[in-house]
Structure 1
Amino acid sequence: MPPTGPIPGLTRVDHIGLTVPDLDEAHTFFVDLLGCEPMYDLGPFAHDDDWMTRQLGVAADTVMRRLRFFRLGGQAIFEVFEYDARAQATTPPLNSDVGGHHVALYVDDLDAAVAHLRAAGVEVLGEPVSSSGPSAGQRWIYFRAPWGLQLELVSYPHGKAYDRTGEAH
């Protein structure tokens, strides 16, 4: 009989792994724009057998050129990879694609953060949106890293409706 319930001992998210086309460009984005602290680098990694396929699900001849860990706000850890891989997709998935994703970051003042992004020449999608229902009290907006990674800024300085009522609407 298969086990039921959550994974034993699972307590939190440890890190978010992202692949970028250029680690130097990503470093500038994560450090200079997002305010991350660079932690350490690893790599390169390559194997003569099928290790890369067995362990990472990529082509056996893939080379992980470099990876760098970044910390944000003393907690969130980004593990950022640069790979050499044959037939590597270079177009990030859309949010609506299977495997699509985004990274949401909290800010205290959404309007100041959006103004900063725009002044820095970052692609900001649309205008801030005010949520409703259980998320009432939250505002959010999407933006993109230079290589297409979708990110979201969220702010709810007075909490969300759900935080006040504990009920979904």
Structure 2
Amino acid sequence: MRVRGISWVGVKTDSYQSMRNFFADVAGMTPDHEDGDFTVFGLPGGDKLEIFGPGAADPPGQFAAGKVVAGLLVDDIDEAIAELRAAGIALIGEKQGGDGYWWQHFRAPDGTVFELAEDAGHP
């Protein structure tokens, strides 16, 4: 597996509106998608920042070990998943996604949750 970068960061917060407004109004980021307690900010390089409020539907286990999760961009998610399994790394749930964007959560050796991401639209 070769990690090409950080493609995604997810933040779970009890202060959804203030966090959403901070990234939009102070950091100058434009929301690509908003739905209730959930906002996706797309960055010019193809990366994403997602804010999850208390009512957002986040994947089970995603924020179990912390309020911030980073997605590691890989070229072939199935190959990377196989390498994680071979190394004895615990996967969380099943691979999810579609339309060129796939993700798989896993626990690093210290229990920190990360996400593998394959994104056909990422440069």
More relative contact order, 1 or 2 (CA 8 Å, 6+ apart): 2
User: Normalised by the size of structure 1, how large is the TM-score?
Assistant: 0.34
Structure having the larger proportion of residues in strand: 2
Structure of higher CA gyration radius: 1
